[in-house]
Amino acid sequence: MQIKPLGTFPEEISRRFNLSSYLVNGEIAIDAGSLGIGLSAEDQNRVHSIILTHTHIDHIATLPLFLENGMGQRETAPSLYATPHNIAMLRKHLFNNVLWPDMTRISQNYLNMVEIDPYEEINVGEFSFHLFPVNHPIPTYGLILRERRRNVDVLFSSDTSICDVIWIEANKSRRLKAIFIETSFPNAYNELALSSGHLTPSLLANELTKLQRKIPIYLTHYKRQFIDEIEREVRQITDHEITICRLGETITID
């Protein structure tokens, strides 16, 4: 499985702003924060499915741009998978003819919104996935994505603070090969992290005690201004293999 945390073009934007998206095998996106500006037009047109974890702006910011870039270029509309609540929020607050036209009401070739429930198993091409709730101020979902042919699972936490459900899901999967989890702030901001639904290295270290076996951990969603401090503190977690993701770099999960 090829996973790329997307940055943006030009790269300077990535160093200054947090926009969240993952690209999986070049064809499935998890969230759309940088999807519409983090890939070439050709590569954007290869993306046929988007899994939405929640509707905070850093996770949906360039969704309209992605859709506009592909108008007239795709044979079929891309599909967006999300809970009924989050699709309703997209319609109310984004595709509302105020911030952006509701082209889904006009064109069948624009975007196919697919309502799914937590824990419902969804098949998308060679992949399947299910959502599960995590701890964030608005309805937010992590997911386990399975590449069925290779029998490989990868867990994505999305934005979260302390959350037992993540580790219940991780411990249930015997095929789990990697965990992508957020760490937004350094330890000095523990109270802010808890109140805003995020993690710090010390909070992450406590969370990892709930994991019953060693699985590679990839950190994302860090605030750029704190990256040096976060890196120093993460290095103190010595009983797990932890990698801080670099935007635009492809990670291979076997």
Model pLDDT for residues 221-254, shown as the tens digit of each residue: 998 889 899 999 999 999 999 999 988 899 999 9
Q: Side chain identity at 208, as an amino acid letter?
A: L
Q: Specify which residues 145 forms β-bridges with.
A: 129, 154
The pLDDT, as a whole number, for residue 14 is 47
- For the chain, the domain total comes to 1
Confirm if 155 and 166 have CB atoms less than 8 A apart.
Answer: yes
Rounded Cα distance, 10 and 7, in Å: 9
Confirm if 63 and 83 have CB atoms less than 8 A apart.
Answer: no
Share of the chain above pLDDT 70, in %: 96
Model pLDDT for residues 153-210, shown as the tens digit of each residue: 999 999 999 999 999 999 999 999 999 999 999 999 999 999 999 999 999 999 999 9
Rounded Cα distance, 46 and 36, in Å: 12
What is the pLDDT confidence band of residue 107, given thresholds at 50, 70 and 90? confident
Determine the structural domain holding residue 183 and report its residue range: 2-252
pLDDT > 90? residue 118: yes
Output the domain CATH number for residue 80: 3.60.15.10
The pTM of the full predicted model, rounded to 2 decimals, is 0.95
